[in-house]
Structure 1
Amino acid sequence: MTECRICGGAVEEFLDLGRQPLSDAFPRPADVDAEFFYRLAVGHCVECTMVQLMEEVPRERMFHEDYPYHSSGSSVMREHFTRTALNFIETELTTTDPFFVEIGCNDGVLLRTMAESGIRHLGFEPSAGVANVARERGVRVRTDFFEESTAAAVREAEGPANAIFSANTICHIPYLDSLLRGVDALLTPDGVFVFEDPYLGDIVKKTSFDQIYDEHFYLFSVRSVQAMAERFGFELVDVERHPVHGGEVRYTLARAGARQPTPAVARLLAEEEAQGLARPEVLQGFASSVTRIREDLVALLRSLRADGKTVAGYGATAKSATVTNFCGIGPDLVSYVCDTTPAKQDRLSPGVHIPVKSTEAFTASYPDYALLFAWNHAEEIMAKEERFRESGGQWILYVPEVRVV
């Protein structure tokens, strides 16, 4: 048992995914002995219902100069962030000289649109490598973590922000008390704090347990975000479902009483109540489904190996570290994983040490089966790799259940 990082209530563990490595640390063969491991377990707060990891990984181990993930790598995500930026420009950034801040701007995929539109902006990005990519694209970046002290420094230097946005980052930050005090310090009285992250409701419904890894400290629901907002003087005024990354919710927070909540908030709260998302027995049922997927996936891969079939992984994602290490899937079952990210190629997957190769290796000699770790981009990837299917290749998926397509 541990204390909730949001409200101090008791956190009850409901799923243990075992000994895990850093999900985005792809070691060279000579460096495998220096890998960092931790216990990946998740619990829920009996008071505010916030779902969170039982053990925190130091942020400097995850977000650093060599952080390999680039948001611009997917055309779907590029389009998503362009639409998001244009929507902010049309709705929240209509005053004279508006100021827009993004927490975790990565390679500038969203802020590039702000820069091209002449919007005064600033991105916080502690990972120097991707921050430099953003700068090369004309984006203003502060290579730093967003917290109370850094937000106050920006407020003093540049004035208040009309809107603060973050995508797939807020769930990474255990110290949300400092972050929300920073938002309070930086935001205008009528401004909004908008963030989108993987949605607990989708994770439970789809049994997408690979959304749980070191970087995802929190798994948000509308109920838990609403309680968190109220605790720090904010109000949840809007929610919006998005299909990206396997199912996310975009949350809009404003200062308490500043805006009228939309009907969407009440609707999604009612859906969560019907799903039983805060009930311990529902979360325990999710944990049982995770165990079943592990058993089914390992049995399938062992059967294919016994039949002499070749299997490669597709997408050296952070999520894949959870799957391979929890299931014990190594190079004996999956010969290699292909990925488009140069920083991951010619290295080994975290923990289980499956070789990572370029997608050119995949197309040069197709395997019999491809285990799709990047299942959240399935439509985009399968369309791109149509020749694999035409050659007789088949895809293995494990969300929401193990199946061959």
Structure 2
Amino acid sequence: MLTCRICGASVREFVDFGRQPLSDAFRKPDDTSEEYFFRLAVGACESCAMVQLVEEVPRDRMFHADYPYHSSGSALMREHFGRTAQEFLETELSGDDPFIVEIGCNDGVMLSAVHEAGVRHLGVEPSAGVGEVARSKGVRVLTEFFEDSTARAVRDEHGPADVIFSANTICHIPYLESIFLGVDALLKPDGVFVFEDPYWGDIVERRSFDQIYDEHFYFFTATSVRAAARRYGFDLVDVRRLGVHGGEVRYSIARPEARVPTAAVAELLAEEEARGLVTRETLDGFAAGVAGIRDDLVALLKDLKDRGGRVVAYGATAKSATVTNYCGIGPDLVSKICDSTPAKQGRLAPGSHIPVVPSGEFAEPYPDYALLFAWNHAEEIIAKEPAFRDGGGRWILYVPEVHVVE
């Protein structure tokens, strides 16, 4: 029987994406080593409602010195984290000698603004490569995984934190108990733990199944986050819907005696109950919808190939590993993936082995169709490539359904 990583109750599996590779394991063309695969399946706890992966991938396989994702790669995300830093500076970090810790600071996109403001800070980042990029911006970085022991060491050296922040990281961490123990040890009595991650409600609504891959172990809702927080002696005190990364929620966690939950918490909890986000009917309907997208996308790509259409992909995202491997899409249907990340260029996409090339090759020459894996940045990307559409090129998107943008 599958058991919940949070509360130990039974978990019902509802979708299986089959054998999947590590989503960021882009291979050199001459690499003949055995590729790591795992079963990517998702279940929901029948007690605390936490949606979670069935199988855990060892963390050091995913987050290491060569981890290729850089948060600063998108102008949209740079703006988002700039606003986030400014909000903290004007509110939680406006007192006497404030201190903020970021779990998973990546390349320092948020903390660099905090550093420029002269505020004490520390990024806890296990991936050494992106951590070095953050250091080059003046950000103070500890190259470690955040857990109970790490937090205690940080407090001993720097004192308690006013804010512990994390973006697109807490959902990666199966061992939430150690995270909350660490937060309890490091956070000031009246401090706040703020994290933002993909929202299960948006994933269900948009059928954005590619948000499900090895790094995303949990898929949060206000209901499941509140249950987890209370289990570890905290409470959910605020929520905010965010438009980034295909739909996220920013959760604010504090000690129960420190802050009163806002009206937004009750509103989102009520909305989730009304929508039945983890009912059997909703979850089975999601799985069926995802299977339909797979079938429609493969049928479209095969039809375009049969008619002589040239298709490339845009954005070698972690999400694209789920799409290509679940759908069985390889170089026969999509000749290459154009991407701006140097660490991915000249390599092969995980599992599918589709070649990844610099984004400049997108126009050499333009294809007939472009499969947009980075659909969560569609507006930004399409606006950046007007010559493609002006020349008759068409974008293929698959969220919330397969469609061609004329």
Q: CA deviation at 1:33?
A: 3.6
Question: What residue is the counterpart of 1:393 in the other structure?
Answer: 393
User: What does 1:18-57 correspond to in 2, within 5 Å?
Assistant: 18-57=18-57
Once the two structures are superposed, residues 140-160 of structure 1 have per-residue CA deviations (whole angstroms, 9 ceiling, x without a partner) of: 000000000000000111100
User: What does 1:210-359 correspond to in 2, within 5 Å?
Assistant: 210-359=210-359
User: What does 1:367-378 correspond to in 2, within 5 Å?
Assistant: 367-378=367-378
Q: Distance in 2 between matches of 1:83 and 1:360?
A: 30
Paired letter, 1:204:
V
Paired letter, 2:404:
V
Q: CA deviation at 1:271?
A: 1.1
Q: Distance in 1 between matches of 2:32 and 2:279?
A: 40
Question: What residue is the counterpart of 1:404 in the other structure?
Answer: 404
Q: Distance in 2 between matches of 1:225 and 1:363?
A: 45
Q: Is the 8 A contact 1:235 1:257 kept in 2?
A: no
Once the two structures are superposed, residues 206-248 of structure 1 have per-residue CA deviations (whole angstroms, 9 ceiling, x without a partner) of: 0000000000000001100000000001010000000000000
Q: CA deviation at 1:257?
A: 2.3
Residue aligned with 2:30, SS: helix
Question: What residue is the counterpart of 1:74 in the other structure?
Answer: 74
Paired letter, 2:26:
F
Q: Is the 8 A contact 1:298 1:329 kept in 2?
A: yes
Q: Is the 8 A contact 1:316 1:349 kept in 2?
A: yes
Question: What residue is the counterpart of 1:98 in the other structure?
Answer: 98
Q: Which runs of 5+ in 1 are unaligned?
A: none
Question: What residue is the counterpart of 2:206 in the other structure?
Answer: 206
Q: Is the 8 A contact 1:102 1:123 kept in 2?
A: yes
- Against the structure 1 CA distance between its residues 397 and 32, is the aligned structure 2 distance closer, same or farther, given a 3 Å change threshold? farther
Residue aligned with 1:96, SS: coil
Between the aligned residues of both structures, percent identity stands at 70
Q: Distance in 2 between matches of 1:278 and 1:20?
A: 24
TM-score scaled by length of structure 1: 0.99
Residue aligned with 2:13, SS: strand
Paired letter, 1:99:
F
Q: Distance in 2 between matches of 1:267 and 1:386?
A: 41
Question: What residue is the counterpart of 1:190 in the other structure?
Answer: 190
Q: Distance in 1 between matches of 2:32 and 2:247?
A: 33
Once the two structures are superposed, residues 300-357 of structure 1 have per-residue CA deviations (whole angstroms, 9 ceiling, x without a partner) of: 0000000000000000000000000000000000000000000000000000100000
Q: Distance in 1 between matches of 2:262 and 2:219?
A: 23
Q: Which runs of 4+ in 1 moved over 4 A?
A: none
Q: Distance in 2 between matches of 1:266 and 1:92?
A: 23
Residue aligned with 2:253, SS: strand
Residue aligned with 1:30, SS: coil
Q: Distance in 2 between matches of 1:257 and 1:277?
A: 30
Question: What residue is the counterpart of 2:107 in the other structure?
Answer: 107
Q: CA deviation at 1:79?
A: 0.3
Residue aligned with 1:342, SS: coil
Residue aligned with 2:381, SS: helix
Question: What residue is the counterpart of 2:16 in the other structure?
Answer: 16
Q: Distance in 2 between matches of 1:33 and 1:138?
A: 38
Q: CA deviation at 1:95?
A: 1.6
Once the two structures are superposed, residues 169-220 of structure 1 have per-residue CA deviations (whole angstroms, 9 ceiling, x without a partner) of: 0000000000110000000000000000000000000000000000000000
Q: Distance in 2 between matches of 1:370 and 1:270?
A: 40
How many pairs are equivalent?
A: 405
Question: What residue is the counterpart of 2:89 in the other structure?
Answer: 89
Q: Distance in 2 between matches of 1:392 and 1:75?
A: 26
Once the two structures are superposed, residues 350-381 of structure 1 have per-residue CA deviations (whole angstroms, 9 ceiling, x without a partner) of: 00100000111102210000000000000000
Residue aligned with 2:163, SS: strand
- Aligned CA RMSD, in angstroms, stands at 0.6
Paired letter, 1:347:
R
Paired letter, 2:196:
E
Q: Is the 8 A contact 1:115 1:138 kept in 2?
A: yes
Question: What residue is the counterpart of 1:116 in the other structure?
Answer: 116
Paired letter, 2:52:
Q
Q: CA deviation at 1:32?
A: 4.7
Once the two structures are superposed, residues 33-68 of structure 1 have per-residue CA deviations (whole angstroms, 9 ceiling, x without a partner) of: 421100000000011000000000000000000000
Once the two structures are superposed, residues 86-140 of structure 1 have per-residue CA deviations (whole angstroms, 9 ceiling, x without a partner) of: 1001110122110000000000000000000000000010000000000001000
Q: Distance in 2 between matches of 1:368 and 1:260?
A: 55
Residue aligned with 1:29, SS: coil
Q: Distance in 2 between matches of 1:357 and 1:380?
A: 20
Q: Distance in 1 between matches of 2:227 and 2:378?
A: 34
Residue aligned with 1:18, SS: strand
Q: Distance in 2 between matches of 1:138 and 1:33?
A: 38
TM-score scaled by length of structure 2: 0.99
- Against the structure 1 CA distance between its residues 32 and 373, is the aligned structure 2 distance closer, same or farther, given a 3 Å change threshold? farther
Give yes or no for the alignment of 1:381 onto 2:381. yes
Question: What residue is the counterpart of 1:177 in the other structure?
Answer: 177
Paired letter, 2:293:
I
